[in-house]
């Protein structure tokens, strides 16, 4: 019998996310939660070693003096969320822009008048690595408290060789010191910095000839991303940058078809990107091409909500056409200032008509595939990493239904229980 250090038992619903479909889930498999009623999970070290009905699991493992036992009676257990698109390292908040948008200015107008990404670049350049780490830590704590156990994290507010490296080193350090796993993405092509505004070709040359080789040499990023948008990087420029990145061994991502129908989704298919993200303005051809090339559509309804725009990505159409979709926060100070994945699930259900089951699959196993970790995380299966969340609900549908509140009971990261004393006190007083 296997000796274990943690067992969670009696969960009224254990969502394993097991499915007959391998790889990212599509179509009807997108709603396949693999639910076990009265379920249990046993953990040894940082790995899941048994999953099943409570009595079956109890018969398979040996519970010693040191084994911690969590009774999840009247609770639901899910894999930790994988937030596969975030910009968590930044120096300034931009609440004034939020107010300007409420009063009628658009995101593009604010960017053209010196706000937007450029204001974040200016603020970030003046901060040290240490300061940026201190600023990012409470954001990661908040993510963890809302049930996120892995994130993809982008650079893109440095836009010079040294400041992009600085951001990626901050992400590397955060990964070492914080329980959340951070997967780094180089986003030097987030905007043309002020000093190159009359010489964009030179900036693109800098990205291709200096930044990409240096980031690759120092192994500071897994993915390379480009903000492919009217007035930012056009299709040809994006293609050139992505091809250079591919030659240096990066996997590719794109901010595509967010504010206009430029064709970033088709470019993602052409260059073999792992995902194309946003997709508010994707057309039918884009959906078809992404599907054929196996590109995952990462949907970011928090950016639509945060910008107050009405066009959400056509999630239903994508799902019906068989495109795999994932969900993420797009956490950033400009368009989506939230660390909360449960809020994103609520938006996905209410604004894009995804069902609660589809939203959960899209934010766990499919988002794990969107960061190339589908074999390690994103489901509760033997051999996978023990990243789990116990929820103070009796039906998984309550998670998106009860929007804007935190119903997390316990987070288990790498097999360890993350302490959250204040929240637990409150939930004990008011369990439902």
Q: Which does 216 bind (CB under 5 to 8 A by kind): Fe ion, ligand NIG, none?
A: none
Site for ligand NIG, residues 217 to 256, rule: CB under 6 A: 227, 255
Asked if 186 touches ligand NIG (CB under 6 A), the answer is no
Output the smallest distance, CB 212 to ligand NIG, in A.
19
Using CB atoms, what's the residue nearest to Fe ion? 330
Site for Fe ion, residues 317 to 376, rule: CB under 5 A: 330
**Considering beta carbons, is residue 117 or 168 the nearer one to ligand NIG?**
117
Output the smallest distance, CB 117 to ligand NIG, in A.
5
Q: Which does 333 bind (CB under 5 to 8 A by kind): Fe ion, ligand NIG, none?
A: ligand NIG
Q: Which does 258 bind (CB under 5 to 8 A by kind): ligand NIG, Fe ion, none?
A: ligand NIG
Site for ligand NIG, residues 56 to 95, rule: CB under 6 A: 87
Asked if 83 touches Fe ion (CB under 5 A), the answer is no
Asked if 280 touches Fe ion (CB under 5 A), the answer is no
Over the chain, what HEC string results?
Answer: CEECCEEEEEEEEEECCCCCCCCCCCHHHHHCCCEEEEEEEEEECCEEEEEEEHHHHHHHEECCCCCEEEECCCCEEEECEEECCCCCCCCCCCHHHHHHHHCCCCHHHHHHCCCCHHHHHHHHHCCCHHHHHHHHHHHHHHHHHCCEEEEEEECCCCCCHHHHHHHHHHHHHHHHHCCCEEEEEEEEECCCCHHHCCCHHHHHHHHHHHHHHHHHHCCCCCEEEEEECCCCECHHHHHHHHHHHHHCCCEEEEEECCCCCCCHHHHHHHHCCCEEEECCCCCHHHHHHHHHHCCEEEECHHHHHHHCCCCCCCHHHHHHCCCCEEECCCCECCCECCCCHHHHHHHHHHHHCCCHHHHHHHHCHHHHHHCCCCCCCCCCCCCCECCEEEECCCCCCHHHHCCCCCCEEEEEECCEEECCHHHHHHHHHCCC
Output the smallest distance, CB 354 to Fe ion, in A.
20
Residues 333-352 as x/- pattern, contact with ligand NIG by CB under 6 A: xxx-----------------
Using CB atoms, what's the residue nearest to ligand NIG? 334
Q: Which does 120 bind (CB under 5 to 8 A by kind): ligand NIG, Fe ion, none?
A: ligand NIG
Output the smallest distance, CB 20 to Fe ion, in A.
33
**Considering beta carbons, is residue 101 or 255 the nearer one to ligand NIG?**
255
Asked if 164 touches Fe ion (CB under 5 A), the answer is no
Q: Which does 91 bind (CB under 5 to 8 A by kind): Fe ion, ligand NIG, none?
A: none
| Binding residues vs ligand NIG (CB under 6 A) | 87, 116-117, 120, 227, 255, 258, 303, 330, 332-335
| Binding residues vs Fe ion (CB under 5 A) | 330
């Amino acid at each position: 019998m296997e000796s274990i250090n943690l067992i969670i038992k009696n969960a009224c619903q254990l969502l394993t996310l097991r499915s007959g479909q391998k790889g990212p889930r599509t179509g009807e498999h997108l709603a396949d939660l693999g639910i076990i009623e009265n379920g249990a999970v046993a953990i040894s070290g940082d790995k899941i070693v048994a999953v099943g009905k409570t009595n079956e699991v109890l018969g398979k493992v040996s519970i010693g003096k040191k084994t911690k036992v969590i009774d999840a009676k009247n609770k639901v257990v899910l894999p930790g969320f994988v937030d596969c698109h975030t910009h968590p390292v930044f120096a300034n908040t931009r609440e004034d822009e939020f107010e300007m948008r409420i009063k009628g200015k658009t995101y593009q107008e604010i960017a053209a008048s010196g706000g937007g990404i450029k204001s974040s670049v200016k603020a970030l350049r003046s901060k040290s690595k240490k300061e940026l780490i201190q600023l990012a830590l409470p954001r990661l704590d908040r993510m963890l408290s809302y049930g996120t156990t892995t994130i993809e994290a982008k650079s893109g507010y440095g836009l010079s060789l040294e400041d992009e490296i600085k951001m990626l080193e901050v992400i590397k350090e955060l990964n070492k010191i914080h329980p959340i796993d951070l997967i780094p993405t180089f986003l030097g092509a987030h905007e043309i910095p002020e000093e190159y505004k009359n010489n964009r070709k030179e900036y693109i040359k800098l990205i291709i000839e200096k930044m990409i080789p240096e980031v690759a040499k120092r192994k500071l990023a897994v993915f390379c991303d480009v903000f492919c948008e009217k007035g930012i990087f056009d299709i040809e420029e994006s293609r050139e940058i992505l091809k250079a990145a591919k030659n240096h061994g990066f996997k590719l991502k794109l901010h595509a078809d967010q504010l206009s129908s430029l064709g970033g989704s088709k470019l993602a298919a052409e260059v073999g990107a792992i995902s194309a993200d946003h997709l508010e303005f994707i057309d039918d051809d884009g959906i078809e091409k992404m599907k054929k090339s196996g590109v995952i559509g990462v949907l970011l309804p928090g950016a639509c909500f945060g910008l107050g725009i009405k066009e959400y990505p056509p999630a239903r159409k994508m799902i019906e056409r068989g495109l795999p979709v994932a969900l993420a926060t797009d956490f950033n100070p400009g368009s989506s200032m939230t660390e909360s994945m449960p809020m994103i699930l609520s938006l996905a259900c209410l604004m894009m008509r995804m069902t609660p089951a589809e939203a959960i699959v899209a934010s766990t196993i499919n988002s794990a595939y969107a960061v190339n970790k589908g074999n390690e995380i994103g489901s509760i299966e033997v051999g996978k990493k023990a990243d789990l969340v116990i929820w103070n609900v009796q039906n998984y549908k309550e998670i998106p239904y009860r929007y804007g509140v935190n119903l997390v009971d316990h987070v288990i990261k790498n097999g360890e229980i993350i302490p959250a004393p204040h929240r637990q006190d409150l939930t004990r007083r008011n369990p439902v």
